[in-house]
Amino acid sequence: MTVFFLNILLVFLQALQMDASDNPDNIHIRINQLGYLPEESKIAIAFSHGAIKEKFLLISDDSKSTITAFKPKRSNANGWGTFDYYYEIDFSQIAMPGNYFLQGEKSKSRSQSFCISSKAYQDQTETLLGFMRQQRCGYNPFLDRVCHQKDGRSMFGPVPDSTYVDVSGGWHDAGDQLKYLITGSYATAHMLLAYALYPDKFADRVNALGQPFPNDIPDVLDEAKWGLDWIHKLHPSPSQLFHQVADDRDHVGWKMPDNDPSDYGWGANGYRVVYYATGQPQGLREYKSEATGIANLAGRSAAAMALAARIWKDHLNDPAYSKKCLDAARSLYQLGRENEGFQQGNSYGAPYRYTEETWADDMEWGAAELYKATREKSYLEEAKRYAIMANTVSWMNLDTAAHYQYYPFINLGHFALHDLVDKNFQDTLAEYYRTGINYTLKKAATNPYGIGIPFIWCSNNLLTGLITQVILYEKMTADIQYHQYLIAQRDWLFGRNPWGTSMFTGIPAGGEYPVDVHTSIWALTKSEVPGGLVDGPVFTSIYNSLQGLTLVNPDEFAEVQNKYVVYHDDTGDYSTNEPTMDGTAGSILMMAHWAPIIE
């Protein structure tokens, strides 16, 4: 009897010591759920608590037949504390179009499904634009409602405080309903640049109001014009510029935008404050912004207007609107010249705000785009001067940064200027980009996912900025040394990450993506709005320091969380799971880059 029990105990102990490959619950496979282009690199990640001693099968999701098997390669990079074993599964040799999944040969652990196709990114630019339309203030086509028609009453302006000015329009910034020129100017200019680079990759499915009636104008330009028209309102005369509508008094709980209970002193659902750009610190209570000028706002807005002037003239044959935009570009840029420095966002009752501190990059961009629109040499010389000032200043060269301290998250001025200067100056601009990319590579070498960003608030915005910088660097130089690195950064956004989730709502359809997002639309109506890029993972230290974070539901990713960086698909987590307007707009060039030409 004693021998019998000893044998039972031995079997039990052997079971406990089995390889992790024999326990499918302990092997996690991460891939890009949206898919891969046929000829590009395709590298999945597998991780486990124990050593993996099996091959992985590539299986057709259509026929369920096995295509081939791959031996995983152990990663040399350290993990983030929860799992000890990380492996790469390189199936780049597979170029045959189809739908697939990876599966452990013995454990039967399987990945999510994915496609290999030249059309893997088809229509995704339109999905992102659909989210942008849902963020519209004024007429919102997603809700078919009109909101915030009383925006706003001026503070710090050249007219008496509380004077009414019409600043209706624009976009709600994120899950809240504030509006910022800081982010709105970048969103507008980014969409225009995306169209300028990829005009044959955007469809026409809606009209200017975002209703489902084509109007012979690409939807990306309809959306950009929504931003342009708002910037025109914020710049009512050559010497005036407003920069923010509403403040954290907006944060009064879940609310529909057309029935906004926030009160700025003029009653619920009434007038909202609009802040004038003075170039001086601002704040109506104890929290004051920092400011040294307004060139960040003026330069970036000038770039958007100059881009629009060319596009509306050359592509849309609308000389009147082109002239209006060019005139605004000139006066905005001049405002920046006269007020060099930065204006930050304003808070009211909370310490959080957009803390942008850079501005030379925006003036470089504005000057370069104005030179393209006018061919006036003074703009070119000024663009070169600002380029040298901007140099390599960026979050990319740092291990951390304050919230939006280095904004936008890519210097698009260097790219705009590159084709306008001689070879030596081109090499200098390319080296600026290369320096930033190389620094992120050092961070990428410290983790098995090869991700090169610091996980500060809005880390996904940093990542799309890095992706865009590599794309534009390749266009500037034809140097593809970073191409596999580029693919790895992109794949993180669609599921090749610890949580196995896409970072875009509704993408891919049927996949794992953010659902319980920090927005009133979801909280009140349970309506999914595809295409929104959520803030993304943050350092655990940042998550633990923020006020008002409370998870509403049990953490579905608890098994794969780690002590280093966290992400939650939870309505209560505004730090990682709130879709942002500018983050979404800043992903449109990236999406267009991999999208097929529209036939």
Q: How confident is the model at residue 17 (pLDDT cuts 50, 70, 90)?
A: very low
Residue 498 · residue 46 · CB < 8 Å: no
Q: How does pLDDT run across 567-587, given as a tens digit for each residue? A: 999 999 999 999 999 999 999
Contact present, 364 and 412 (Cβ < 8 Å)? no
Query: At how many degrees (to 10) do helices 219-234 and 319-338 cross?
Result: 50
DSSP for 527-593, please give it.
---TTPEE---EEHHHHHHSTT---SS--TTGGG--SSEE----TT-TTTS-EEHHHHHTTHHHHHH
pLDDT tens figures, 479-508: 999 999 999 999 999 999 999 999 999 999
Output the pLDDT for position 25. 52
The percent of residues above 70 in pLDDT, for the chain, comes to 96
> 2 falls in which pLDDT band (50, 70, 90)?
very low
**b/e 423-452 (16+ beta carbons within 10 angstroms → b):** eeebebbbebbbebbebbeeebeebbbbbb
Q: What 3-state class would DSSP assign to 154? A: strand
Under 8 Å between Cβ of 134 and 127: no
Per-residue pLDDT tens over the stretch 192-209: 999 999 999 999 999 999
DSSP string, 457-524: TTHHHHHHHHHHHHHHHHHHH---TTHHHHHHHHHHHBT-STT--BSBTT-STTS----S-SSHHHHH
pLDDT greater than 60 at residue 219: yes
What average pLDDT does range 33-49 have in this prediction? 97
> At 243, which helix (H) or strand (E)?
strand 242-245
Which residue reads 């791959």 in tokens? 70
pLDDT at 10 over 80: no
d(CA 244, CA 184): 10
Helix (H, G, I), strand (E, B) or coil at 110: strand
Q: Is the pLDDT of residue 35 over 70?
A: yes
| pLDDT over threshold 90, residue 515 | yes
pLDDT at 14 over 80: no
Fold of 26-116: Immunoglobulin-like (2.60.40)
At 33, which helix (H) or strand (E)?
Answer: none
pLDDT at 6: 38
Average pLDDT over residues 296-322: 98
Could you tell me where in the chain the CATH 2.60.40.10 domains are found?
26-116
Query: Which residues, including other chains, have CB under 8 Å from residue 479's CB and lie 6 or more apart?
Result: 430, 473
